[in-house]
Structures are given as C-alpha cells and as structure tokens.
C-alpha cells in the first residue's frame, strides 16, 4: 500500500504542528451581494441577455422611430401601394400605401404600453390582494383564495371580451379588461411568498420589536419576496401583449385609428395570399418581443433564485 516516496522521514517532520498552520475553516467562495451575484448569473444566460437587448432596442425604436421618420403612421400614398421593402420604405407599404415600418413601430408603442402598464396594474392589485390574504391568514385567506379559484376556473378571455363590450373598443378599456382578469397569478404567487416568509425569524423579530403591521408587511415581507414577484411580472408583460393582439386580430379589441400589432396583423390578413410579406413584419416583431420577454423572465427566474448560486 505504500508508494515509492521521495520524502525523507526526517525527525523535524514529526514535530507538533502549530494551530496557526492548520486551515481550520476554509472559505469556499468570495462573498458577493445578492443583486450583484444575480446580475452575474443573468449575464451568463445568453438568451436572457439577447432578450434584454432586443426589448430595450424595441422600446427605443417604438419611442423614437415614429418621431424621426418622414412618414406618419396614417399618411397614405395611393400611388405607392403594396410596395415591396426598399430603401424608401424599409418594410414596404400596405394596401393604402402607408409605410409599414412606421406602422409596426407605432404598433409597438401601443402593444408595449399595454404590456407594461397592465403588468404594473397587476402587480399593485396582486401584491395588495395576495399580501393581505397571506398576511392575515385564517378565514379571510380562505375566502379570498376561494374567490381567486372561482375567477381562475373560467378562461380570462371570456371576461375580457365581456368587459370590452361594456366599455367599448379602446385602449383604456383594454387596459382595464386585461388588468381585472390577470392579477390572479400574481396574487397567488405573493400569498405563497408572504405565507412562508411570515414564519421566518426576521418577521418574528420585527414583530417583537413592535414594528407596525403594515410596515412588517411591506418592508420585510414584500422586499424579501421581490425575486418571484419580478419573475411573475416579467411573464405578465408578454401575456398582456398576447391577449391584446389576439382580440385586436379578431376585430374585437382595439380598433382603428389606434393600431397595435394585433390590428396590423388583422389588416394584413386579407392579403395573405397575394402579399404575405405584409403580415410577416408585425408577426415577427411580436414573436421576437414576446420570446425575448420570456427569455428575460426565465433568466431572471434562474438568476434571482437564491438556491441557484453557491456550491451547487
């Protein structure tokens, strides 16, 4: 069992080892702050990074492209209808000779606005509802969660359509409709988080110190549950964009002259046999944006999961 060894077993090797020469505790890795750590993990995920860049570019284009273009989104050029892409019209023109590039960017404004705005409204409703339900617990929680179950078991789209019929086909009612129906997931998510955090030591400690109830709820619980909330939020944006475009495409969502991506798809649909390229632009813009947002959500989900770092 003994190996050939070059080591001479001299006497000094058998001297007692001083405590300072032992590595009593080894430090496995340098400690970093959570956010920094998360960002580093997020950066490593190439798809998520691509998503972030794409969405940022899309937002910038949506804001600035219509401003600087020489065409407006409704300017018609009947001499130049159904033109193919060229330097003059990057994406070509539609059946009324309107510049498709400008229209797609203008559509991005509306679609993205709906996506982000309804996600924001959702977050507020969801956090308040889920927070109360999880924090108060008991009977209140049971009733609130049963209500959520009932809402959840009917497809949200049916409610959205009913609401749209009541308030008319415009941007505001679309926002209201999507927000009213889609906070359920957020509420559930927040509730679970709050419930589990409520039992942790620091929440107990805060209570013992005598911090007021709402302060405990907001400062300690919500801030610590921020990871899953951000992820749910990111996933909500594409969901809202999807719902809006779905309805607008069917002709029961936003109507002219406001034109979201869904409206553009719907307009170009009639020309699918003759000029299929016209529908490709809004479809591609929407696909890439929704995909990017999902990549960001997945990336954030991995990056913000505290269990994901460290040794494993």
Partner 1 sequence: MALLEIKNLTTSFKIEQGSVQAVRDVSISLEQGEVLGIVGESGSGKSQTMFSLMGLLADNGKVTDGTIIFDGQDISPKNFKNKHEYDKAMRKIRGNTMSMIFQDPMTFLNQVLKIETQLIEPLMNHKKITKKEARLKALELMRKVGIPSPEKRIDQYPFEFSGGMRQRIIIAIALACNPKLIIADEPTTALDVTIQAQVLELIDSLREESSSSIIMITHDLGVVAKLCDRVAIMYGGKIVETGTDQEIFYDPKHPYTKGLLNCVANPEDDVEEELHPIPGSPPDLLDPPIGCPFVDRCERAMRICKLKMPDVTEFSSTHQCRCWLNHEKAVK
Partner 2 sequence: MFKYTIKRILVGILTMFILSTITFFMMKIIPGNPFSQDNKVLTPKTYEALEAKYGLDKPVVEQYFIYLNNAIRGDFGESISKTGQQVIDIVIRRAPVTARLGSVAFVIALTVGVTLGIISALTKKRWVNSLITTFATIGVSIPSFLLAILAMILFGVMLGWFPLVGLKTPLHYVLPAIALALNPISMITRLTRSSLRDVMSKDYIVLAKSKGTSELWVIIKHGLKNALLPVVTYCGPMFAFLVTGSFVIESLFSVPGLGMEFTSSVINRDYTLIMGLTLFLGAIVIIMNIVSDIAAAMIDPRIKLGK
Residues binding partner 1 (CB under 8 A):
1-2, 5, 7, 9, 11-17, 21-26, 28, 311-312
112 vs 45, 64, 108, 196, 302, CA distance in Å? Answer: 24, 14, 6, 34, 24
For residue 99, give the 3-state DSSP assignment: strand
Q: In angstroms, what CA-CA distances link 214 with 2, 217, 224, 272, 290? A: 69, 5, 15, 56, 36
- The full DSSP string for 123-181 is HHHHHHHHHHHHHH-HHHHHHHHHHHHHHHTS-HHHHHHHHHHHH-SSHHHHHHHHHHH
Task: Pick what 199 binds: partner 1, partner 2, none; C-beta below 5 to 8 Å, kind-dependent.
Answer: none
Considering CB distances under 5 to 8 angstroms, the limit depending on partner class, which of partner 2, partner 1, none binds residue 172?
Answer: none
Distance in Å, CB of 234 to partner 2, minimum: 12
Please, what is the minimum distance in Å from the beta carbon of residue 8 to partner 1?
Answer: 11
CB of 9 to partner 1, least distance (A): 6
Nearest to 243 by CA among 180, 296, 292, 150: 180
* Smallest gap from residue 295 Cβ to partner 1 (A): 22
Taking a C-beta distance cutoff of 8 angstroms, is the pair 266, 248 a contact? yes
- Residue ranges binding partner 2 (CB under 8 A): 146, 149-150, 153-155, 157-159, 161-163, 165-166, 238, 242, 245-246, 249-252, 265, 269, 272-273, 276, 279-280, 283, 286-287, 290-291, 294-295, 298
Q: How far is the CB of 304 from partner 2 (least distance, A)?
A: 18
CA distance 51 to 206: 39
Residue 291 partner contact from partner 2, partner 1, none using kind-dependent CB cut-offs of 5 to 8 Å: partner 2
Which of partner 2, partner 1, none interacts with 28 (beta carbon under 5 to 8 A by kind)? Answer: partner 1
Would you say 65 or 293 has its CB closer to partner 2? 293
Report the residue number, 10 or 153, with the smaller CB distance to partner 2.
153
Instruction: Provide, rounded to whole angstroms, the least separation between the CB of residue 153 and partner 2.
Output: 5
Q: Based on the number of CB atoms within 10 Å of its own CB, is 206 exposed (0-12), middle (13-18) or buried (19 or more)?
A: middle
Tell me the H-state helices in 183-260: 184-198, 201-209, 213-215, 223-224, 226-250
Q: Which does 294 bind (CB under 5 to 8 A by kind): partner 1, partner 2, none?
A: partner 2
Residue 287 interacts with, from partner 1, partner 2, none (CB under 5-8 Å by kind):
partner 2
């Amino acid at each position: 069992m003994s190996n050939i060894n070059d080591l001479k077993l001299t006497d000094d090797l058998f001297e007692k080892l001083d405590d300072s020469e032992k590595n009593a505790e080894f430090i496995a890795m340098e400690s970093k702050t959570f956010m920094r750590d998360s960002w580093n993990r997020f950066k490593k995920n190439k798809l998520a990074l691509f998503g972030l860049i794409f969405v940022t570019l899309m937002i910038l284009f949506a804001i600035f492209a219509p401003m600087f273009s020489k065409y407006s989104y409704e300017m018609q050029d009947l001499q130049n209808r159904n033109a193919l892409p060229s330097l003059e019209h990057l994406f070509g023109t539609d059946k009324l000779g309107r510049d498709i590039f400008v229209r797609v960017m203008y559509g991005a404004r509306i679609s993205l606005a709906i996506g982000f705005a309804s996600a924001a409204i959702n977050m507020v409703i969801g956090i308040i509802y889920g927070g109360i339900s999880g924090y108060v617990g008991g009977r209140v929680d049971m009733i609130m969660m049963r209500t959520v179950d009932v809402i959840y078991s009917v497809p949200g789209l049916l409610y959205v359509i009913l609401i749209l019929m009541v308030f008319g086909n415009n941007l505001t009612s679309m926002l209201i409709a999507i927000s009213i129906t889609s906070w359920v997931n957020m509420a559930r998510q927040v509730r679970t988080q709050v419930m589990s955090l409520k039992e942790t030591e620091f929440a107990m400690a805060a209570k013992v110190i005598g911090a007021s109830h709402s302060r405990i709820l907001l400062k300690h619980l919500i801030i610590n549950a921020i990871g899953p909330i951000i992820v749910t939020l990111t996933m909500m944006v594409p969901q809202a964009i999807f719902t809006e475009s779905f309805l607008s495409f069917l002709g029961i969502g936003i109507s002219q002259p406001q034109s979201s991506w869904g409206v553009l798809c719907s307009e170009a649909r009639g020309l699918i046999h003759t000029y299929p390229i016209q529908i490709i632009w809004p479809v591609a813009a929407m696909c890439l944006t929704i995909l990017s947002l999902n990549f960001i959500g997945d990336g954030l989900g991995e990056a913000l999961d505290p269990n994901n770092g460290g040794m494993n």
